[in-house]
Amino acid sequence: MRLSQYNLRYASNWDEMYVKRVGMAGNGFTMTKARKAKRRSACPLNASVEMLGDRWSLLIVRDMMLRGFQTYKEFMECHEGIATNILADRLRKLVSYGIITTNPDPSDGRKVTYLLTQKGIDLAPVLTEMVLWAAAHEDTGNQPLVRLMRDDKEKFLAGVRQRWAKP
């Protein structure tokens, strides 16, 4: 019996996917269908935490929104110093949650660029409020950004949306 005739199971700390055999393609490879694991609860806050509850995912989204990062190399140069295996894992998870997407790099087809989806862009007000909350309660840097957000939040958010709008 070939391996492709077995149901396969893949699990990780963050998500669990079951891969089922649903038929044979003409080329002899098994077609698969994946489904996402159930959440710990139906609470909307729990769903948010399960998708974005680690510091690296939020910092990746931050760098995309505020710094325009789109490549693996740009994320690696971030001053927080993310490890390569963690970065690859978080990018994969953000893609699987539909927060970012990948496109082939126009200058090198072997590489990809990462782009925020509408779901990712919709995080802009959340991240803005988190920045403003931290600036109000902690000694933080980047005060020009904080002032920009505080003085005209709607203009700031419109700029983020415009930057990531599809051409």
> By percentage, how much of the chain surpasses pLDDT 90?
51
Range of the domain at 32: 3-36
**Total domain count for the chain?**
2
**Same domain, yes or no: 63 and 84:** yes
Which pLDDT band, with edges at 50, 70 and 90, does 164 fall under? confident
Residues 22 and 49 in one domain: no
Overall pTM > 0.75: no
| Residue from 53, 49, 62, 80 nearest 116 by CA | 62
Model confidence at 54, in pLDDT bands (50, 70, 90)? confident
Distance CA 59, CA 70 (A): 13
- Do 109 and 151 sit in the same domain of this protein? yes
Angle, nearest 10°, between helix axes 153-164 and 55-67?
90
Find all residues with CB under 8 Å of 91, minimum gap 6, and list them.
Answer: 60, 72, 75, 100, 114
Task: Give the model confidence (pLDDT) of 65-114 as tens digits.
Answer: 989 999 999 999 988 899 999 999 999 999 999 999 999 988 888 899 99
Q: Which two tokens stand for residue 116?
A: 């925020």
**CA quadruple 165, 45, 10, 32: dihedral, nearest 10:** -50
pLDDT (0 to 100) of residue 112: 93
Indicate whether 73 and 15 sit together in one domain: no
Does one domain contain both 52 and 31?
A: no
Dihedral pair phi/psi, residue 19, rounded to 5°? -110, 125
The residue behind tokens 């990809």 is: 112
Same domain, 59 and 90: yes
The pLDDT, as a whole number, for residue 36 is 57
